Chains A and B, each alone.
Chain A
Amino acid sequence: MAMLEVHDLEVNYGVIRAIKNISFEVNEGEIVTLIGANGAGKTTTMQSIVGLIPKKSGKVIFQGNDITKIPCHKIVHLGMTQVPEGRRIFQELTVYENLLMGAYSNKDNASLKSDLQTIYERFPRLAERKNQVAGTLSGGEQQMLAMGRALMSHPKLLMLDEPSMGLSPLLVDQVFEIIKDINKGGTTVLLVEQNAGKSLAISDRAYVLENGKIVLSGTGKELSESEMVRKAYLGG
């Protein structure tokens, strides 16, 4: 069953046509990746889906409901949470307070303590630094915090925009392991990556975005074996 359906999405920045009529879907339980070069329109796609950037036209359906015109701050209540590009954690707040902000949309906070515990178990570094101001964390720790913060809202669909950006190879592997693990726990994942090799390896399906258009789609395996993807995104 399709959890997220995007139909004929178009997004403009002034006269620039950033996204030109794209359609794709994410089924329940899947990891789906959008790969594409810098400037292809991945972030624009992700942010317009949740209403952070206005859509020119098109339709977004989440769990059967049309959410095209729902304002951004209501999206998370529906079960769709995004870890934005560049992490965008709240630098002036502590690690603990950032996680609380992640739980902002939760209706009752009965499970707050155990939710925090779960996050601290998954990311022990965050537990060690829970009272530290988030702006002083390293890049890897900030990415862990951004993911932990998103998980506090119990998303059914987790959207991650370039979670491996700027991280050391060791941390990149760790991030992909965590994404796989989150998915195993029952959360559907929509991933955006420039790191095509690693992301295709964990993806059920993927789409290739070029200049605001989807030019190729298939299973993770099909795409990593495709001539075009190998040439353009996997360095041969």
Chain B
Amino acid sequence: MSEKKKCDPRVFQLSRRKALKGLAAGVGVLAIPSPKASASVWESFFQKHFKELSKEDLPKVLARMEEQYSREYGRPVTVKATPHIEGVKFGYGLDLSRCVGCRRCVYACVSENNQSREPQIHWIRVVRLNKEKGIDLSEAEHYYNPREVPEKGHFYLPVQCQQCENAPCTKVCPVQATWRENDGIIVVDYNWCIGCRYCMAACPYGARHFNWRKSRIPTDELNPDTHYLGNRPRPVGVVEKCTFCIQKTREMPGRYPACEEICPVGARKFGNLLDPESEIRYLIENKRVFLLKEDLNTQPKFFYFYGS
């Protein structure tokens, strides 16, 4: 839907982006390649926006990245750009009556999606709330660490990107480096992002994260199965976020996202909103469903529900 607004002539986009990139370099977040930089560094600096890459250019870009990452991590890394599947709009369900706050999803996400270990980046946050107070986020506790969960009197609310249909983050991006794909996944082109972090300020869910420093991932922990718009290693100075594990889910057949697979209590549900037989449709039609910050009209495709 928002695609129509993308009417800026390419020339304007490009020049504005360069200007901004220069600006960012000025504050030391990003720098223009040094004169001694290799050809591939320069190539990536002038690379086109993902959506404007031609059929001929895309494989070249992917191959260049594969080579670069494989060299950097000393093992074969693949980078794919699998497109959306026709007739699919992804939705996610989370059963608040089941979640025990064990945080296994947080760490499964980190390793599947190559999040930085140091400094630490977590795409999923689990907050603890009081049963008596209900959903009162002024009571949210992020750092609970008891011996065992669940704890008496508490329940838990995991938060990650809500993949909004009406996403505030994509609208504020000055260079359109982030957008909603046809299957509903909000993605970032890390090669296009200038690191201005407007999107982080616009996101009401705190679901976007900035790479202040070069991410550190031990080589043997790197997930080498990557997607251009998802879990490929990120450069410093860009914003990243949950993509419903685009590298796993956009396949025929497609696996479930890592957070769903790890959940020991079965609180996480995932599927195609357009398929009436999917578990996500069943829960929306049959269970009590909540949206986070519904009043902002962001129209999340992340549905919290009560299974019992």
- Are chains A and B native binding partners rather than an unrelated pairing? no
Q: Residues of A with Cβ closer than 8 Å to B?
A: none
Q: Residues of B with Cβ closer than 8 Å to A?
A: none
